[in-house]
Structure 1
Amino acid sequence: MTAKLTTIAFDADDTLWENEEFFRITQERFADLLADYMPPDHIADRLLAAEHRNIGHYGFGIKGFVLSMIETAIEVTDEQVPASVIKELILAGQDMLQHPIHLLDGAADTVAQLAETHQILLITKGDLLDQERKLAQSGLGELFDGIEIVSAKTPEVYGQIFNQRNVTPSAAMMVGNSMKSDVVAPIDAGAWGVFVPHNLTWAIEHAEPPIANPRYRKLDSLRALPDLIEDL
C-alpha cells in the first residue's frame, strides 16, 4: 500500500527558475575569449573536466564555475592567458551573481497550490549566498515550510533531511530537473522522484532514468504535478 504523501520537495535551479542558460551564455563567451588557443568544442570538454575535478574543492555554483574557467584558461594557454581575459571571466561571474530571477512556467502556481495541502520543502545545492538571493527574488520563500541548501544531493543527505523533519521517506516526493540529484538519489533514499526535464541540463547531472522503479514519474510541466499527486 502506498503511503500518503505528506511532503513535497522542490529543486530550485532549472526547476522553479532559469539557471543553466546563464552558464551556457557565459561558457560561449569563455570559448570566444580563448578561440585563438583552442576550438570551442575542445574548450567545452576541458572546462567540463575541470568542473568535475573541482566539485570536491569548490562545490556547486557560480563561484566554482568561474574558478574552473580561470583554471582552464591557464591550462590551455600554457599559462599565457592575458590578465584582461581573467578580468572578463571574473566580471562574467559577477554578472551571473546579479542576474534577475526568471520563474519557469507554472512554478509559482504549482508551489502555492500544493502548499495548501502538503508540507513544502526547497532542497537545492550551490553557493549559499547565491541561492538565498535567488529565493528572495523569486517571491516564493514564504510558501516553503523548510529550506535546505546542501553541498550535495545524495541518498544519505535526503535521508538526513527527512529524518530531521520526522518524514517517512515513502511519504515524501522530490521534484526536479536533474535525473541524478533530484530523481535517482531521493528514490534510493526511499522517496518518490519526479523528473521535470529542462531543455538545458549540466552534463555532470546526467543519469539513467529508473524507469522500472514504481516511485519514478516523469512530467512535461510542473503544472501537471498536482494532478499526479491526486492520482497516486
Structure 2
Amino acid sequence: MKFDNSISAVITGGASGLGRASAYALASAGVKVAIFDLNEDWGNKVASDTGGSFHKVNIMDEASVEEGFAAARAANGQERILVHCAQVSKGGRTISKDKENGGWKRFSTEDYAFSAQGILVASYRMASLSALGMASLDPLEDGERGCITLTASVAAQDAQIGQIAYGSCKAGVNGLVLPLARDLMDLGIRCNSIMPGIFATPPMLAVKDKAPAIWDGLNASVPFPKRLGKPEEFGSLILELNRNTYFNGQNIRLDGAIRMPPR
C-alpha cells in the first residue's frame, strides 16, 4: 500500500504507548489517522499532534465501536488501515493461595471471560467491523482494499505464571489471523499480528521510577539489544506491514530475541 493523504487509518489505544507510536508513524507518512481511546486528554493531544481526529470508544461495547467508526469515517473517510492495540484483561494464577482462609482459590470463570472479551472478542469485533467498511472501497494495486494489524504478545507463545487469561487470549488473537486473512482474501484485505516483547510503554516506565532494580533486570533479560523496546520500533513495523503487500497471515515477534521464563 502506498501512503498519501487519500489513505485513512483507525488506531485503537492510540492515546498512549504502542498505539500512539503507530499514530505518529502513520501520520508522518501522510496517512490521516483516527484515534480510538477512552482517555480524552491524551487522545485529543495525539489527534492534535497528528492532524487527525479523536473518538472516545470503548472496545468492549459494540455500539460504542460502531459509533466510533461512523465518526472516524465522517471525519477522514473509510479507513484502509486498522491498527488494534487496545485491550482489557485481568491477571492471576489458575489456582493460588487464599490469604483470607489459608486455603486455595481459583481464577474465576468470570474474570477469565472478562479477559476474553477485552482481548479476543474485542480483536474480532474491531477487525470484522473494519473489514466490513473496507469491503466498500475501490481496490488499489494488487487488488488490495485494506490491512488489519492486531496486537498479540510474546505471552501468546511463552506466557508466564499468572498470565493464564492474558496468554491464552493473546494466543487466540494469533489464531484469528490466518482464518481472517483467508476469509478476506477475495476482498483484498490483509491481516497480520505483532507479538511485542517488553516495551517502554507508560506502565513499564512507571517501574523505572518506582523499582529501578527491577527495571535494570528487565533490560538485562533481553538478549540484544539489552533494553526494552521503543514504541517507535513498533510504529516502524506497522509502516512496513502496511507498505509491503506480501505480508499476510503472519504472527510476527518483535522482542529482541527474548523468551520469557516461567516467572
| TM-score, normalisation: structure 2 | 0.29
Higher relative contact order (CA 8 A, sep 6+): 1
| TM-score, normalisation: structure 1 | 0.32
The structure whose residues are more often helix, as a share, is: 1
